């Protein structure tokens, strides 16, 4: 079974998770640049990224591999990953 995914909404929802989980300020889900480097430019570290990965797994009912989440360093990359997993 394949699942239709609205990429724009997916990006906004992931941004929302990011903002809520990491208590980010001065940004909204709509204004969060999906290309921004979360590590270099937002200052997110491995524990934050692991936390977000756990929440995204729950939210979308997908499995994220432990080796994969450290590479998901932009919202766009996370969205692409979720999309691929949902379509599997």
Q: Which residues bind another protein (CB under 8 A)?
A: 39, 43, 45-51, 53-55, 57-58, 63, 66, 69-71, 73
Which CB atom, from 69 or from 81, has the smaller least distance to another protein? 69
Q: In whole angstroms, how close is the CB of 64 to another protein at the nearest point? A: 8
Angle between helical axes of 46-60 and 7-22 (0-180°, round to 10): 130
Q: In whole angstroms, how close is the CB of 54 to another protein at the nearest point? A: 4
- Which of 59, 86, 53 is closest to 72 using CA atoms? 53
């Amino acid at each position: 079974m394949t699942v239709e995914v609205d990429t724009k909404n997916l990006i906004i929802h992931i941004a929302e998770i990011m903002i809520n989980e990491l208590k980010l300020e001065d940004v909204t889900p709509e204004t969060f640049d999906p290309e921004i480097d979360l590590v270099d430019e937002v200052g997110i570290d491995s524990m934050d990224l692991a936390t977000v990965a756990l929440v995204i797994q729950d939210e979308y009912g997908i499995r994220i591999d432990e080796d994969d989440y450290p590479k998901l360093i932009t919202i766009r990359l996370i969205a692409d990953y979720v999309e691929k997993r949902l379509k599997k």
